[in-house]
Structure 1
Amino acid sequence: MPIPVSRMRFMTWRTLATAAVAALMAALLVPVAAHGAPRESAPVYSYENAIRESVWVDTGLDGDGDGRHDRVAVDIVRPRELARQGRKIPVIMDASPYYSCCGRGNESQKKTYDANGHVVQMPLFYDNYFVPRGYAFVGVDLAGTNRSDGCVDVGGRSDILSAKAVVDWLNGRAKGYTTRTGTATAGAGWTNGRTGMIGKSWDGTIANGVAATGVKGLKTIVPISAISSWYDYYFAKGAPLYDSGPDWLSGYVDSPDARAKCAAVQRKLVDEAPRTGDWTSLWTERDYVKDASKVRASVFLVHGMQDLNVRTKNFGQWWDALARNGVERKIWLSQTGHVDPFDFRRSAWVDTLHRWFDHELLGYDNGIDREPMADIERHPDQWATSAVWPPRTTGATTLRPGTGAQPGVGTLGLRRASGTETFTDDPGQSETDWAAHIDRPTADKAGFTTRPLTRDLRLSGSSKVTVTATPTTSTAHLSAVLVDLGPDTVRDYTGSGEGVNTLTDRTCWGASTVGDSSCYKVTEAARTDVEQTVLSRGWADLGNYASDRGVPLTPGKAYTITLDLAATDHVVPKGHRLALIVAGTDKDLIDPPTGTPTLTLDLARTSARVPLVGGADAFERATAGSAATPAASVLDGVRAPRTASQGRNTDPVPHLPLTPIYP
């Protein structure tokens, strides 16, 4: 439970120290057998007197080309009592590029140091909360940032291997030094090597990438709003999602030393990430999904379903790949944008994370592995669970558009239709504009809706929309969105807090020192009333119809392309309608093409493949008797987690549209 700040004022250091010593002595003197196996770690160790040290780990790389191996800075906080007893402990690790440039968390905390260069403040609550419970917390400066050598290569070898090297050092496979340039070595004999990585945004992306190397000793990762493939951060089938590339992001976080030495790396980030959206070897190196079969660690994934920074295709394809490979996994899906769960479900998050690390790193049988796999936010602060995600009854069901009584206002059902619909790209219109005008003919979109549902209809997973379109120009961009048409109260993910409001009161989560408080501003759900909700979206450059390299289009020729829509879990309530909209540029979410194309859709060759719980039968029932019920196939990626004996690692021990990934 959190400790209110007002109460903290009345708790003297003597009281805290006495309580900690008493609890520690009780833990040491009472035989474990008297109480059975432990189920929860307790805060019995002193945070104020914890060991704070810095180590520089040899990465084996020379990214900055200065003729010597790069060393990355590793700041450590760990219990002094356990060190004196010689007891080895597990590690919670956050490897980040943000520790000095931008800060972490809702309050943008940075690392601070004393006159001797030892860390005083570690951002976020992880060290305050978990060090008193017998964990070490390790904050790693990625190569090229803060006090580390090397260059920032935005998810490439340097990023991933600099963090992996720390896991190797914790497991006795890499060298560490007491200074950045000296020869005095530093070992990690205080740890059992069992490591859990955590982090939001770029930090969580690094956790994904390190797990995809299969490194031994990494037992679990907790990626929050994280990238699984950097191409899918910057592009959607050739359509640019941002007006900048990875070179901008590197320059945003790198240290002064890196800026002076890393011109060659910066040039590579420009030359091998063309704004055409063509796939290159740079993107192959930064695609962790292809290496999901190497993942040994369990995965507790968290993502906002309205995250328009790290868009949700990133979590969907990663989740499905992990599932196909039987990785033990858990997931939280919120209605927020790019927000940490500490700021949208704080008490439950700290409790769940505590239990997860206790189970995965300390081996406590606390039952978390037998609880529902998924927690899903249905309405602000209203959560549902799912035993398996997506549910086993989910079927990928083909929905087909048809013409309606008015041009651009069509139907959506199970029958194949004929006819065409035409729209003209208007970069000034967005998905919310299209949805608001779904029942009116407008030149900028083609919309298709079901009849009002007679029962709830749940979508769970990733969708695909296949479009056959004839353009009038040599370039054309496409957007496809799924919309819940009906009134609701949702989190205001388009607001400045992306679904949360930050208040002035604080609560405390763990122990504090003069230089590192565990007390953080309280947040609340930012709510808004809407008449429709965009629940999934995807984009493409029509020039990428045949491959991952775009080509000029021939005006007047029909092309077929499949758009990958973002993963979601959404219930369209009884009385609402489900809509598919196909249009051109989605304002603020993709860049427009060079011309102003008009596109004609061939409806007989256009369809949406949607993950419906209950499949086509559920759709037919919800739409009160639509004809033709094609067989639904089981959605890829649904299977039970594997056990340790089936391959788990058992050895001992980047919302604001057009804004690059931010903390």
Structure 2
Amino acid sequence: MENKHYSKVPVFENGLAQPVFPFTDGKTGEKYDPATSDIVRYCVYVESDYDMDGDGKRDLVKVFVQVPRSAVEGNYKAATLFEARPYCAGVQEDGYDHMKEVAEKEYRKFDLADLDHEAAPRVPSGSASAMDLALKADPSDWYYKDKGSTNSMVYENIDSFNYYLVRGFAVIVSAGFGALGSDGFNYVGSEYERDAFKSVVEWIHGDRVAYADREGTITTKADWANGNVAMTGRSYAGTMPFAVATTGVEGLKTIVPVAGIADWYSQQNMQGAQRYWPKEMLNSFLAYYCSSRYNDSTLSEKQLDDIAAFHHELSLQQLKCGFDYDEKFWGSGNYRLNADKIKCPALIVQGLNDENVSTKQFEMMLKSFQKAGQTVKAILHQGPHITPTMPNKGYGILIDGKFYDDIVNEWITHYLYGVENQAEDMPAVLVQTNHDQRKWETSDSWDTGHSMKLTSGSTGTAVIDTDWEAAGISAKNFDDVMGTTSTNMGQRYVTRPFEKAVTIQGTVCLHLKAALKDGDAEADFHPENRNDVDTLTMKLGASRISGRMDDVEIAVLLCDVCDTEFDSIQTTDPERNIIPVTTVKEGGIINGGDLPAFDEAEFTTVHKKYRVITRAFADLCNPEAGYEPETAANSIELKKDEYHDYHIYLNATRYTVEPGHSLAIVIATEDPVNCMIHKTYSVEIDNSSVHADVPVTTEENDYTINAQ
């Protein structure tokens, strides 16, 4: 249909790519007509350098391509937005049950060295253009029922980037190795996983071969592409841009990671202690969850057994580490170690109330790009583990009065199309304030250059233990109790009320001297499985497996407290993953073109006398552990009444404490939400030793904290 607003080439106005391309949905199934669709869709199979499964052929990586028809017809060369998302080709929804089913199962020994089989590249017999493939494309290649889920569709996020399609960008999505349609194994945090997605960037840039078919006979080029790629996505899909950026691959011009992981060790652990959800502490859980290749009906029993044996070996390798850092196991997923290879700028997006991917991750990413000398900006909102626009839920929040996708549009338009729009001049830090979510503030640097000292005014000692029942705590009320009162499980140290507002920005470091007071170390402190974890995962941190004392944990909270209730934005579920939103304007988030609008939303506030600002976990067996993940490699045997110095780095934050409010540091033992192994022990704290360095935005007076 003719429309005067449609264009055959991208149109840029006010520094933004405009919605001038027609749109045809790719989820119409049999009604999808490749001959007339305004968005050309097809799949390709990029050849990697690996033969992980040892079949003598290089592993292929399936890629789902969406491109405005005009680019495929040759009217212009499209820039590419790439989401590397291991979930997108399907998931294994039975992850928890599966881990229990295989916990005691015996597998053939899998040698991880076998992943490095060498195989010669394929020899093609012909080639095909993008249009050739598109005209033969079948929607069932990219949109069909997920065999590993009860009610989901594969590539369910096919709509996530429609905003960019109608503005002339190509959008590609891949699940990488181990996914249905691809070869190899899902190997969380490995160079194999990283390089699978690097290969896709190389294909777009014209440096690697892709095939039209799984057999690898007909090659196809991204003949519609200008060779410039931006990677984006949230969570796992926000992690892979960082991984690929640390390869320095040509063609990757920028990344926009949302809640991405900079280091897999400190995603799962923190200073020698467990940090993540108990049932998902083994990386093999996530590897299985993303391995939709299990549902490939063409695989033999041996091939399926090989995948399972690999996942089991992945579990065994992690069990040797316990909760400590091990370079061999964790090094490949510690992307910040390769910061010197980064060649592109980054726009980093993070929720300050994200308890899934911790805020420490965004800060480590930020420092890595600064170390590389690259332009890096941060947008920090008050939400949990979300993207500021949530297409799958039909809502979004405004970013300082702007649409989130318009901000990303401006950023990638500059770096992929070379439009001079001063995108690189945006503030180094743009942050949504905690006291007024409609107010956003800027900083020229994340590092403030100012620090406020919190120094103990108390003497003597405090003893805390792990008796949940005596403390009256559970996973449902841990924060409520710890934020408001001291118990046998947690000691609070509180400042006097602040006379003026103080803004914290950065990482708070708590210093203390502590000793194991009591506990039966020979019996591994009598471990109990309180969170229904499978028996294999329960071996993580067991002294009989790792050969050392492990996981004598303390949890640290920094809280905003007040004698009267106040409004705050905080999670409302026991897993600390949900902040409800309220619609403030139906259809308020404009996508443009032929696309429907989303609702404009705001975060729903709660009314309490406290708010957890940030938290941390640490193992008393790791007194050498500090901010850098690799410092958690060395553990010690604790002796009763033997004191050690600890320096505990809480997750990064940006938070304003209002006048009349106080700061409370809470030192506790186990946190039931994150407790995989409940143990019986007590810890003695030297009250006079407790002090904290608090980075603040302006010069502030020091404060005394007293045990209460």
1:372 to 424, 427, 446: 427
1:293 to 340, 361, 376: 340
2:314 to 266, 269, 272: 269
- The equivalent of 1:251 in structure 2 is 288
- The equivalent of 1:141 in structure 2 is 175
Residues 203/434 of structure 1: CA separation in 2 closer, same or farther (3 Å cut): closer
- The equivalent of 2:611 in structure 1 is 533
- The equivalent of 2:654 in structure 1 is 569
* Distance in 1 separating the partners of 2:84 and 2:597: 22
In the alignment, structure 2 segments of 5+ residues that lack a partner are 25-37, 93-135, 144-154, 297-302, 391-395, 522-550, 625-631
CA contact (8 A) 1:471 1:598 kept: yes
- The equivalent of 1:74 in structure 2 is 63
Normalising by the residue count of structure 2, what TM-score does the alignment of the two structures yield?
Answer: 0.74
1:53 to 31, 42, 50: 42
Residues 505/101 of structure 1: CA separation in 2 closer, same or farther (3 Å cut): farther
CA contact (8 A) 2:430 2:443 kept: no
Residues 439/159 of structure 1: CA separation in 2 closer, same or farther (3 Å cut): closer
- The equivalent of 2:526 in structure 1 is none
Structure 1 residue 83 and structure 2 residue 72: aligned?
yes
Q: The residue matched to 2:701 in structure 1 has which SS?
A: helix
CA contact (8 A) 1:91 1:138 kept: yes
Q: Which amino acid letter does the alignment assign opposite residue 324 of structure 2?
A: D
- The equivalent of 2:18 in structure 1 is 42
* Distance in 1 separating the partners of 2:176 and 2:484: 51
CA-CA distance at 1:83 after TM superposition? 3.2
* Distance in 2 separating the partners of 1:124 and 1:331: 26
CA-CA distance at 1:575 after TM superposition? 0.8
CA contact (8 A) 2:505 2:655 kept: yes
Q: Deviations over 1:349-369 (max 9, x none)?
A: 122111111122122222332
* Distance in 1 separating the partners of 2:374 and 2:556: 31
Which 4+ runs in 1 deviate beyond 6 A?
502-508
Residues 63/508 of structure 1: CA separation in 2 closer, same or farther (3 Å cut): farther
- The equivalent of 1:182 in structure 2 is 216
- The equivalent of 1:156 in structure 2 is 190
Q: Deviations over 1:116-159 (max 9, x none)?
A: 65546772545422122221111112111132111100121221
CA-CA distance at 1:614 after TM superposition? 2.2
CA contact (8 A) 2:483 2:610 kept: no
* Distance in 2 separating the partners of 1:345 and 1:389: 24
Q: Which amino acid letter does the alignment assign opposite residue 509 of structure 1?
A: N
Q: The residue matched to 2:633 in structure 1 has which SS?
A: coil
CA-CA distance at 1:492 after TM superposition? 4.0
Q: The residue matched to 1:318 in structure 2 has which SS?
A: helix
CA contact (8 A) 1:65 1:261 kept: no
Q: Which amino acid letter does the alignment assign opposite residue 66 of structure 2?
A: V
Q: The residue matched to 2:439 in structure 1 has which SS?
A: strand
Residues 440/352 of structure 1: CA separation in 2 closer, same or farther (3 Å cut): closer
CA-CA distance at 1:326 after TM superposition? 2.7
2:246 to 187, 207, 212: 212
2:505 to 460, 464, 470: 460
Q: The residue matched to 1:381 in structure 2 has which SS?
A: coil
Q: Deviations over 1:172-207 (max 9, x none)?
A: 221111111131111123212110000111111111
- The equivalent of 2:556 in structure 1 is 480
Aligned-residue RMSD, C-alpha: 3.0
CA-CA distance at 1:51 after TM superposition? 1.9
Q: Which amino acid letter does the alignment assign opposite residue 15 of structure 2?
A: R
Structure 1 residue 619 and structure 2 residue 701: aligned?
yes
- The equivalent of 1:500 in structure 2 is 580
CA-CA distance at 1:239 after TM superposition? 1.3
Normalising by the residue count of structure 1, what TM-score does the alignment of the two structures yield?
Answer: 0.79
Structure 1 residue 338 and structure 2 residue 361: aligned?
no
Structure 1 residue 18 and structure 2 residue 3: aligned?
yes
Q: Which amino acid letter does the alignment assign opposite residue 279 of structure 1?
A: Y
* Distance in 2 separating the partners of 1:124 and 1:500: 25
* Distance in 2 separating the partners of 1:330 and 1:68: 42
* Distance in 1 separating the partners of 2:623 and 2:429: 35
Q: The residue matched to 2:358 in structure 1 has which SS?
A: coil
Q: Deviations over 1:513-549 (max 9, x none)?
A: xxxx766576542221121111111111111224524
Write the mapping of 1:206-605 to structure 2, written as runs, cut at 5 A.
Answer: 206-241=240-275, 242-243=277-278, 244-255=281-292, 256=294, 257=296, 259-274=304-319, 276-280=322-326, 281-343=328-390, 344-345=396-397, 348-379=403-434, 381-390=437-446, 392=448, 394-403=449-458, 418-427=459-468, 429=473, 433=478, 436=481, 440-472=485-517, 473=519, 474=521, 476-486=552-562, 487-495=565-573, 498-501=578-581, 509-510=591-592, 523-546=601-624, 547-592=632-677, 594=679, 596-605=680-689
* Distance in 1 separating the partners of 2:163 and 2:685: 56
* Distance in 1 separating the partners of 2:485 and 2:46: 62
- The equivalent of 2:138 in structure 1 is 115
Count the aligned residue pairs: 569
**Higher mean Cα deviation, 596-605 or 56-65?**
596-605
In the alignment, structure 1 segments of 5+ residues that lack a partner are 1-13, 104-112, 404-417, 628-663
